[in-house]
Amino acid sequence: MTAFTSSGPARRLISILRQAGITNQQVLDVIETTPRQLFMPESLAHKAYENTALPIGNGQTISQPLMVATMTQLLMQHDCKKVLEIGTGSGYQTAILARLVDHVYSVERIAQLQYQAKRRLRSLDLHNVSMRHGDGWEGWRSKAPFDGIIVTAAATEVPQALVEQLADGGVMIIPVGDKQQTLTVLRRFGDTIEQQRIGDVRFVPLVKGDLL
């Protein structure tokens, strides 16, 4: 099993996340000991523990640690065992989730990013992840329902397919909007959907288009 270890820069990042209001100790521990430098080009590794988003190629970014922490904390307020992630990207958020829940299903439209993410997760001995090269607007119907759904790209509207794939009592964390985006928490209770707006955010778009 991989040793997940801490370091000075990782501890400094954790104190920034704490000051910014992240209180879930399990989430903080997992972020502190997951090597973020593995999830970016080597030339950027010296910035791995800065609280910023960074380019990962193909016009995409690895999300800011505070955003990963915020979304993960929101998800973990509910008893999520089986989680669907839309937008694997670097695989960093996937790795954090894999260390906290039973199983992560992750969908990505760019094959090259998906391939790299798969290798990184394997190198960390994280095997409770299934990946699909597909369109996140469609979710992953054959694996539904999910206790939790986390979308790491901004959707112009909440994808109906994702609402349908949410378990009764399940929670979805999703940035909604185009130029103006709002991080939104959506809960499903039978046919009733409750939405709560968390705050303004900035994500790359959840693309409507062909797979790459």
**Residue from the set 48, 80, 110, 149 that interacts with ligand SAH by CB under 6 A:** 110
Of 28-36, 96-104, 141-149, 204-212, the segment contacting ligand SAH by CB under 6 A is: 204-212
Amino acid identity of residue 212, one-letter, is: L
**Distance in angstroms (rounded) separating the CA atoms of residues 149 and 198:** 16
Measured CA to CA, the distance from residue 154 to residue 174 in angstroms comes to 7
* Minimum CB distance to ligand SAH, residue 170 (Å): 20
Rounded CA separation 196/176 (Å):
12
Count of positions (residues) in the chain: 212
**Between 162 and 185, CB nearer to ligand SAH:** 162
90: annotated active-site residue:
no
User: By rule CB under 6 A, what string of x and - marks binding of each residue 114-153 to ligand SAH?
Assistant: ---------------------xxx--------------xx
Q: How far is CA 33 from CA 49, 111, 122, 205, in A?
A: 11, 27, 16, 29
Question: 121: which DSSP letter?
Answer: H
Local structure of 117: helix, strand or coil: helix
Looking at 13, 48, 104, 113, which residue binds ligand SAH (CB under 6 A)? 113
Kindly state the smallest distance separating residue 117's Cβ from ligand SAH, in Å.
8
Site residues (vs ligand SAH, CB under 6 A): 60-63, 86-87, 89-90, 92-93, 107-110, 113, 135-137, 152-153, 204, 206-207
